[in-house]
Structure 1
């Protein structure tokens, strides 16, 4: 009986080890569906926003950290105009660029939201990670809303908090 349980445990471990772990799994095909060509001589207003996000936070001491899942929510709050995102770049605690999420401008239709997910196992950003988001909007259009939502659950304990972007240009 003991050998049977041990065999089942070993088989379970083998299958779980073969499971492919993806880090910050944002499929580039999702962004290419949103790609749009913008004229360099358009009448759109340019903006740049800074968003703090946390892939880790300190727990108990400065020597122990807790990993978080981060969702970067990019929202068009206009009821009538599309907006355009030019850049979403992720930086680590030391200000080093980790990755860019799309290579050409993308659009968000009126009242549309899209997200970037930083998986809990991706700790490349550290405790002070952040995003620079560049965008263009039509004149008299509300600015986009960018939020970071950080979550983690362990057993019956849960942790979540949000951050909001600050316009820097």
Structure 2
């Protein structure tokens, strides 16, 4: 029995040393880990924000495009209070809903940034893709800040630019 206990202890020790299980080390798009399962405060202000992103951009003519990787940043710019993102909906150029990233509210801690990455190979959004975010924030605080970074490289040439979200209602 002592040998079995010692073996279990040594195994746990070895695995514990090899892994960092802090929540801070989770990927920034682990929606399950950020899901808010408690009741939301009724004093929170709701709003929606729009962010343009580009899966593709035109080059030289309207018939030639470059595919882009898009990084969508969801930022809580408040130093003390958590904000909540109720949904993140991704639309294509024609305005058709491509996907919803989460169905239940997630929380974004003060000064935290979480990200959604649209791979360069994913052309579904097209040249006029966009996100609409529904959110909740304390009345006295700033709305979440949304930003897109698009990038691609071809040979020795690189192309990158940013977009900023706008509040479409409060």
Q: Where on the TM-score scale, by shorter chain, does this alignment land: which range?
A: 0.7 to 0.9
Q: 1:116 maps to what in 2?
A: 116
Determine the C-alpha separation between the residues in 2 that align with 1:74 and 1:98: 19
Q: 1:89 maps to what in 2?
A: 89
Q: Which moved more, 1:40-49 or 1:156-165?
A: 40-49
**Cα offset for 1:162?**
0.5
Determine the C-alpha separation between the residues in 1 that align with 2:48 and 2:39: 18
**Cα offset for 1:38?**
5.2
Determine the C-alpha separation between the residues in 1 that align with 2:40 and 2:79: 25
Determine the C-alpha separation between the residues in 2 that align with 1:38 and 1:162: 35
**Partner deviation per Cα, 1:71-95 (whole Å, 9 max, x = no partner):** 0000000000000000100000000
Determine the C-alpha separation between the residues in 1 that align with 2:147 and 2:40: 28
Q: 2:143 maps to what in 1?
A: 143
**Partner deviation per Cα, 1:17-51 (whole Å, 9 max, x = no partner):** xxxxxxxxxx9x81010000353661100010010
Q: What is the DSSP-based 3-state SS (H/G/I as helix, E as strand, rest coil) of the residue aligned with 1:32?
A: helix
For the structure 1 residues 31 and 126, does the alpha-carbon distance in structure 2 shift closer, same or farther, using more than 3 Å as the test?
same
Determine the C-alpha separation between the residues in 1 that align with 2:69 and 2:163: 13
Q: Which moved more, 1:32-41 or 1:134-143?
A: 32-41
Q: 2:74 maps to what in 1?
A: 74
Q: Does 1:52 align with 2:52?
A: yes
Determine the C-alpha separation between the residues in 2 that align with 1:110 and 1:41: 17
Count of aligned pairs: 142
Partners of 1:38 and 1:105 within 8 A in 2: no
Determine the C-alpha separation between the residues in 1 that align with 2:158 and 2:69: 12
Q: TM-score, normalised by structure 1?
A: 0.81
Gaps of 5+ in 1: 1-26
Return structure 1 stretches of 4+ with deviation > 2 angstroms.
37-41
